[in-house]
Amino acid sequence: MNDSPQRKIIHIDMDAFFAAVEERDCPALAGKPVIVGGAPNSRGVVATANYEARRYGIHSAMPASQAYRLCPFAEFIKPRFDAYRAASQEVMAILHRYSECVEPLSIDEAYLDVSAATAYRGSATRIARAIKADIVREVRLTASAGVSYNKFLAKLASGMNKPDGLTVIRPQEGAAFVRHLPIGDFYGIGKATEAKMKKLGIHVGADLLRWSQDALVAHFGKAGYWYASLARGEDPRPVRAHRERKSLGNEITFALDVTNIDLLREELFRQLAELMEKLERRGWQAYTLTIKVKYADFEQVTRSWTHRQPLDVARAQESIGELLARTEAGARPVRLIGVTLSGLATADAEAQISWL
């Protein structure tokens, strides 16, 4: 018997988020396949596609050129991050009405712990329904909600009836639900672990359940404890309203040591561009930039600079140049080079919602 009270967790995930904002703001798009991301004739990728476009097999991260071949008459739209951030902040503000314990995961996703909520007599399902209705009425977008007793199951539930879904996995249903779940759908099981498990004959939750915790730990290290609890439908992670500030980083090791300083700078710029894009997508801004240089003899140095203003590409590139000049890169051959952005903050300093 487990005498600790069951928690009530809601996971909210906006439907086709960027595309839905575009459709909302441009009624002429109604009913058409809509693709937000790189231009069809560019080397860019699809950020997202609406559900009409998904019927043609188009999905996030697909090259825009391929999306064009699959559906040439789709509307291709350049992302408007400001509009997505604004919508996101409105949604997060709605979530905060129902619980103080809200953990944003990305620009369009968050967990809420409503165990202590009093609205709707504490019914998590009714709270989820109310949240969805508020979002439709006030932000004119649809969200899918998952309701369960932990994060793992709440997130799975929200993905089950997209778009505009509301799915509940009750405490007495969790274990059975997990038994049928393909192993790749478990939280924290990536492609490599999935492949390894399949080789061991573990394909669904029920297979995992047959393994003792000790055997899982023997095969997968500490993660084995985690897999053992997921297999029982358990996930003790709390919803964390204030997440630790994170950093975003990139680095590469060269196949051959590099002494050409221009090449090193270009490589750092390329890494920076990737990080800035990620940052923007998450609605974050960074204040600190750090470069890391590992010389051919494996000695490693870092140089960093904290700005008073949030970093933009021009400012960050300038810093990279200055920081690189404060290393011996070029004079000494370099085997690894990297950039990290930290001191992350929400893009809108006035927003009451912390993304972090």
Q: Which residues are catalytic?
A: 109
Residues in contact with ligand TTP, shown as a per-residue x/- string from 276 to 305 under the rule CB under 6 A: -----x------------------------
Any contact of residue 108 with Mg ion (CB under 5 A)? yes
Other C-beta atoms lying within 10 Å of the C-beta of residue 8: 24
Any contact of residue 14 with Mg ion (CB under 5 A)? yes
76 binds, among ligand TTP, Mg ion, none (CB under 5 to 8 A by kind): none
281 binds, among ligand TTP, Mg ion, none (CB under 5 to 8 A by kind): ligand TTP
Residue in 9, 12, 13, 293 binding ligand TTP, rule: CB under 6 A = 13
Segment 163 to 202, residues that bind ligand TTP, using CB under 6 A: 163
Using CA atoms of 218, 219, 224, 230 in order, give the dihedral in degrees to the nearest 10.
Answer: -130
Any contact of residue 75 with Mg ion (CB under 5 A)? no
Residue 44 and residue 134 in contact, taking contact as beta carbons nearer than 8 Å: no
Pairing of strands 166-168, 75-77: unpaired
Is there a cis peptide before residue 104, judged by omega within 30 degrees of 0?
Answer: no
Any contact of residue 18 with ligand TTP (CB under 6 A)? yes
105 vs 345 by CB, closer to Mg ion: 105
Any contact of residue 48 with ligand TTP (CB under 6 A)? yes
Residue in 60, 304, 317, 342 binding ligand TTP, rule: CB under 6 A = 60
Size of the site for Mg ion (CB under 5 A): 4
Any contact of residue 13 with Mg ion (CB under 5 A)? yes
Least Cβ distance, residue 54 to ligand TTP (angstroms): 8
Which segment (17-25, 91-99, 125-133, 322-330) binds Mg ion by CB under 5 A? 17-25
Which segment (11-19, 204-212, 252-260, 344-352) binds ligand TTP by CB under 6 A? 11-19
* Cα 215 to chain centroid, rounded: 31
Size of the site for ligand TTP (CB under 6 A): 16
Least Cβ distance, residue 195 to ligand TTP (angstroms): 22
Cα→Cα distances 254→257, 267, 296, 334, 337, Å: 6, 10, 10, 8, 8
Using CA atoms of 133, 159, 39, 262 in order, give the dihedral in degrees to the nearest 10.
Answer: 120
Nearest of 151, 106, 111, 153 to residue 131 by alpha carbon: 111
Which segment (101-109, 188-196, 227-235, 326-334) binds ligand TTP by CB under 6 A? 101-109
Least Cβ distance, residue 17 to Mg ion (angstroms): 5
108 vs 235 by CB, closer to ligand TTP: 108
Which segment (105-113, 133-141, 185-193, 307-315) binds ligand TTP by CB under 6 A? 105-113
Residues lying near ligand TTP in the complex (CB under 6 A): 13-18, 47-48, 60-61, 107-109, 162-163, 281
Residues lying near Mg ion in the complex (CB under 5 A): 13-14, 17, 108
